[in-house]
Copies of this chain bind each other. A is one copy, B any other.
Amino acid sequence: MLPNNHKISIAIVDDHPIVIQGFRSLLENNPLYEIAGCFTTGQGFMTFLQQQRVDIVLLDITLPDGNGVHFCREIDELYPEIIIVALSNLNERSIISQMFSNGAKGYLLKNLSAKELLDALNTVLEGKTVMSLEVKEILQQPDLNTLQPVPELTKREKQILQLLAEGQKSAAIAEALFISPLTVKTHRATLLHKFQVNNIVTLINRARETGLI
Protein backbone atom coordinates (compact mmCIF):
# COMPACT_ATOMS: atom_id res chain seq x y z
CA MET A 1 0.00 0.00 0.00
CA LEU A 2 2.96 2.31 0.48
CA PRO A 3 5.55 3.01 -2.22
CA ASN A 4 8.48 0.65 -2.14
CA ASN A 5 10.93 2.98 -3.77
CA HIS A 6 11.51 5.09 -0.68
CA LYS A 7 11.97 4.42 3.00
CA ILE A 8 9.00 4.42 5.31
CA SER A 9 9.19 7.48 7.49
CA ILE A 10 8.45 7.11 11.16
CA ALA A 11 7.92 9.64 13.93
CA ILE A 12 8.22 8.83 17.60
CA VAL A 13 6.31 10.72 20.28
CA ASP A 14 7.23 9.76 23.83
CA ASP A 15 7.98 11.77 26.93
CA HIS A 16 10.99 9.60 27.79
CA PRO A 17 14.10 10.45 25.78
CA ILE A 18 15.54 7.08 26.62
CA VAL A 19 12.60 5.28 25.05
CA ILE A 20 12.95 7.42 21.96
CA GLN A 21 16.62 6.51 21.86
CA GLY A 22 15.65 2.85 22.05
CA PHE A 23 13.27 3.02 19.10
CA ARG A 24 15.63 5.18 17.16
CA SER A 25 18.51 2.78 17.43
CA LEU A 26 16.25 -0.14 16.61
CA LEU A 27 14.93 1.46 13.48
CA GLU A 28 17.65 3.65 12.09
CA ASN A 29 19.86 0.77 11.04
CA ASN A 30 16.97 -0.85 9.27
CA PRO A 31 17.01 -0.07 5.52
CA LEU A 32 13.21 -0.11 5.39
CA TYR A 33 12.67 2.77 7.74
CA GLU A 34 13.83 6.27 8.40
CA ILE A 35 13.21 8.34 11.51
CA ALA A 36 11.55 11.56 10.41
CA GLY A 37 11.47 13.04 13.87
CA CYS A 38 11.26 12.39 17.59
CA PHE A 39 9.16 14.42 19.99
CA THR A 40 8.64 14.50 23.73
CA THR A 41 5.40 16.49 23.47
CA GLY A 42 2.23 16.02 21.48
CA GLN A 43 2.17 19.63 20.48
CA GLY A 44 5.71 19.42 19.15
CA PHE A 45 4.66 16.67 16.80
CA MET A 46 1.49 18.50 15.70
CA THR A 47 3.59 21.51 14.76
CA PHE A 48 6.02 19.31 12.86
CA LEU A 49 3.14 17.82 10.85
CA GLN A 50 2.25 21.24 9.49
CA GLN A 51 5.43 21.16 7.41
CA GLN A 52 6.13 17.51 6.90
CA ARG A 53 4.26 14.21 6.83
CA VAL A 54 5.18 10.78 8.05
CA ASP A 55 3.94 7.30 7.20
CA ILE A 56 3.77 5.98 10.74
CA VAL A 57 3.75 7.58 14.17
CA LEU A 58 4.55 5.68 17.35
CA LEU A 59 2.46 7.57 19.87
CA ASP A 60 2.75 7.37 23.65
CA ILE A 61 -0.37 7.97 25.75
CA THR A 62 1.27 9.64 28.71
CA LEU A 63 2.55 12.98 27.50
CA PRO A 64 3.48 16.11 29.42
CA ASP A 65 1.10 18.35 27.47
CA GLY A 66 -2.06 16.28 27.31
CA ASN A 67 -2.91 12.69 26.63
CA GLY A 68 -2.22 10.65 23.56
CA VAL A 69 -5.90 9.76 23.19
CA HIS A 70 -6.62 13.35 22.34
CA PHE A 71 -3.66 13.75 20.01
CA CYS A 72 -4.61 10.51 18.29
CA ARG A 73 -7.98 11.87 17.25
CA GLU A 74 -6.44 15.15 16.20
CA ILE A 75 -3.85 13.46 14.00
CA ASP A 76 -6.42 11.14 12.47
CA GLU A 77 -8.81 13.97 11.66
CA LEU A 78 -6.17 16.20 10.08
CA TYR A 79 -4.04 13.54 8.44
CA PRO A 80 -6.03 10.31 8.06
CA GLU A 81 -3.32 8.75 5.88
CA ILE A 82 -0.89 8.60 8.82
CA ILE A 83 -0.78 5.22 10.51
CA ILE A 84 -0.99 5.73 14.25
CA VAL A 85 0.42 3.07 16.54
CA ALA A 86 -0.16 3.63 20.25
CA LEU A 87 2.67 2.78 22.60
CA SER A 88 1.97 2.72 26.28
CA ASN A 89 2.22 0.97 29.57
CA LEU A 90 -1.44 1.68 30.21
CA ASN A 91 -3.56 -1.41 29.88
CA GLU A 92 -6.90 0.12 30.77
CA ARG A 93 -9.65 -1.11 28.55
CA SER A 94 -11.23 2.32 28.19
CA ILE A 95 -8.00 3.86 26.94
CA ILE A 96 -7.32 1.10 24.46
CA SER A 97 -10.74 1.13 22.88
CA GLN A 98 -10.74 4.90 22.86
CA MET A 99 -7.46 4.88 20.95
CA PHE A 100 -8.81 2.51 18.35
CA SER A 101 -12.02 4.46 17.91
CA ASN A 102 -9.87 7.58 17.53
CA GLY A 103 -8.15 6.05 14.54
CA ALA A 104 -5.17 4.15 15.93
CA LYS A 105 -4.12 1.14 13.87
CA GLY A 106 -2.13 -0.47 16.63
CA TYR A 107 -1.75 -0.61 20.39
CA LEU A 108 1.50 -1.96 21.74
CA LEU A 109 2.69 -2.22 25.31
CA LYS A 110 6.11 -0.79 25.96
CA ASN A 111 7.57 -4.05 27.12
CA LEU A 112 7.60 -5.33 23.57
CA SER A 113 10.72 -6.80 22.01
CA ALA A 114 12.53 -5.52 18.93
CA LYS A 115 11.14 -8.32 16.86
CA GLU A 116 7.59 -7.66 18.01
CA LEU A 117 7.96 -4.04 17.02
CA LEU A 118 9.19 -4.84 13.53
CA ASP A 119 6.47 -7.44 13.09
CA ALA A 120 3.90 -4.92 14.24
CA LEU A 121 5.15 -2.32 11.77
CA ASN A 122 4.90 -4.87 8.96
CA THR A 123 1.38 -5.69 9.98
CA VAL A 124 0.10 -2.13 10.06
CA LEU A 125 1.81 -1.41 6.74
CA GLU A 126 -0.28 -4.21 5.26
CA GLY A 127 -3.31 -2.28 6.37
CA LYS A 128 -4.13 -4.54 9.28
CA THR A 129 -4.39 -3.54 12.91
CA VAL A 130 -2.03 -4.88 15.51
CA MET A 131 -1.92 -5.15 19.27
CA SER A 132 0.06 -6.82 22.01
CA LEU A 133 -1.22 -10.14 23.31
CA GLU A 134 -2.15 -8.67 26.66
CA VAL A 135 -4.04 -5.87 24.97
CA LYS A 136 -5.93 -8.38 22.85
CA GLU A 137 -6.96 -10.25 26.00
CA ILE A 138 -8.19 -7.10 27.66
CA LEU A 139 -10.32 -6.22 24.67
CA GLN A 140 -11.78 -9.70 24.53
CA GLN A 141 -13.15 -9.46 28.03
CA PRO A 142 -16.52 -7.81 27.54
CA ASP A 143 -16.41 -4.94 29.97
CA LEU A 144 -19.63 -3.01 29.74
CA ASN A 145 -19.19 -0.38 32.40
CA THR A 146 -15.98 1.22 31.19
CA LEU A 147 -17.13 1.90 27.65
CA GLN A 148 -17.47 5.60 28.33
CA PRO A 149 -15.00 7.84 26.51
CA VAL A 150 -12.20 9.59 28.32
CA PRO A 151 -13.58 13.00 29.27
CA GLU A 152 -11.95 16.11 27.88
CA LEU A 153 -11.02 18.47 30.67
CA THR A 154 -10.29 22.16 30.55
CA LYS A 155 -7.11 23.67 31.95
CA ARG A 156 -8.86 24.79 35.11
CA GLU A 157 -10.55 21.47 35.61
CA LYS A 158 -7.25 19.62 35.36
CA GLN A 159 -5.78 22.03 37.88
CA ILE A 160 -8.60 21.46 40.34
CA LEU A 161 -8.56 17.71 39.74
CA GLN A 162 -4.90 17.73 40.69
CA LEU A 163 -5.55 19.58 43.94
CA LEU A 164 -8.49 17.34 44.77
CA ALA A 165 -6.24 14.33 44.24
CA GLU A 166 -3.83 15.78 46.79
CA GLY A 167 -6.66 15.70 49.30
CA GLN A 168 -7.35 19.43 49.41
CA LYS A 169 -10.79 20.64 50.35
CA SER A 170 -12.82 23.06 48.29
CA ALA A 171 -12.10 25.93 50.65
CA ALA A 172 -8.35 25.38 50.43
CA ILE A 173 -8.46 25.08 46.66
CA ALA A 174 -10.47 28.28 46.41
CA GLU A 175 -7.88 30.07 48.50
CA ALA A 176 -5.00 28.67 46.47
CA LEU A 177 -6.51 29.73 43.15
CA PHE A 178 -7.95 33.04 44.36
CA ILE A 179 -11.50 32.14 43.37
CA SER A 180 -14.75 31.66 45.26
CA PRO A 181 -15.38 28.34 47.02
CA LEU A 182 -18.62 28.24 45.09
CA THR A 183 -16.71 28.26 41.83
CA VAL A 184 -14.60 25.37 43.02
CA LYS A 185 -17.87 23.64 43.80
CA THR A 186 -19.01 24.19 40.23
CA HIS A 187 -15.79 22.79 38.78
CA ARG A 188 -15.99 19.86 41.14
CA ALA A 189 -19.55 19.15 40.02
CA THR A 190 -18.49 19.38 36.37
CA LEU A 191 -15.68 16.90 36.98
CA LEU A 192 -18.03 14.46 38.69
CA HIS A 193 -20.47 14.83 35.83
CA LYS A 194 -17.84 14.41 33.11
CA PHE A 195 -16.54 11.23 34.68
CA GLN A 196 -20.02 9.98 35.52
CA VAL A 197 -19.20 9.37 39.15
CA ASN A 198 -20.65 10.63 42.40
CA ASN A 199 -17.76 11.11 44.75
CA ILE A 200 -14.26 12.48 44.66
CA VAL A 201 -12.45 9.27 45.49
CA THR A 202 -13.88 7.40 42.49
CA LEU A 203 -13.29 10.50 40.40
CA ILE A 204 -9.62 10.35 41.29
CA ASN A 205 -9.48 6.62 40.63
CA ARG A 206 -11.00 7.01 37.17
CA ALA A 207 -8.69 9.91 36.41
CA ARG A 208 -5.70 7.77 37.42
CA GLU A 209 -6.89 4.86 35.29
CA THR A 210 -7.23 7.06 32.26
CA GLY A 211 -3.85 8.69 32.80
CA LEU A 212 -5.31 12.11 33.47
CA ILE A 213 -3.46 12.56 36.73
Residues of A at the B interface (CB closer than 8 Å) are: 15-26, 40, 110-114, 117, 164-167, 169, 197, 199-205
CA distance A164 to B199 in the complex (A): 11
Select which of B21, B164, B204 is within 8 A of A114 by beta carbon.
Answer: B21
Which chain B residue shows the least CB distance to A26? B21
| Inter-chain contact B25/A21, CB cutoff 8 Å | yes
Copies of this chain, complex-wide, total 2
Residues of chain B within 8 A (CB-CB) of A112 are: 17-18
| Inter-chain contact A167/B22, CB cutoff 8 Å | no
Shortest A132–chain B CB gap in Å is 12
Main secondary structure of the interface of A (DSSP, over half): helix
| Inter-chain contact B201/A110, CB cutoff 8 Å | no
Shortest A53–chain B CB gap in Å is 25
Which chain B residue shows the least CB distance to A204? B201
CA distance A19 to B202 in the complex (A): 33
Which chain B residue shows the least CB distance to A116? B17
| Inter-chain contact A110/B18, CB cutoff 8 Å | yes
CA distance A202 to B16 in the complex (A): 30
| Inter-chain contact B17/A205, CB cutoff 8 Å | no
CA distance A20 to B26 in the complex (A): 11
| Inter-chain contact A19/B17, CB cutoff 8 Å | no
CA distance A174 to B55 in the complex (A): 52
CA distance A14 to B40 in the complex (A): 21
Which chain B residue shows the least CB distance to A25? B25
Shortest A72–chain B CB gap in Å is 20
Residues of chain B within 8 A (CB-CB) of A26 are: 18, 21
* Across the A-B interface, the 3 shortest Cβ-Cβ residue pairs: A167-B202, A22-B22, A25-B25
CA distance A112 to B110 in the complex (A): 17
Residues of chain B within 8 A (CB-CB) of A167 are: 197, 199, 201-205
15 more CB-based (< 8 A) A-B contacts, given A17-B112, A21-B21: A16-B19, A16-B110, A16-B111, A17-B114, A18-B22, A18-B23, A18-B111, A18-B112, A19-B19, A22-B22, A25-B25, A167-B199, A167-B202, A167-B204, A201-B201
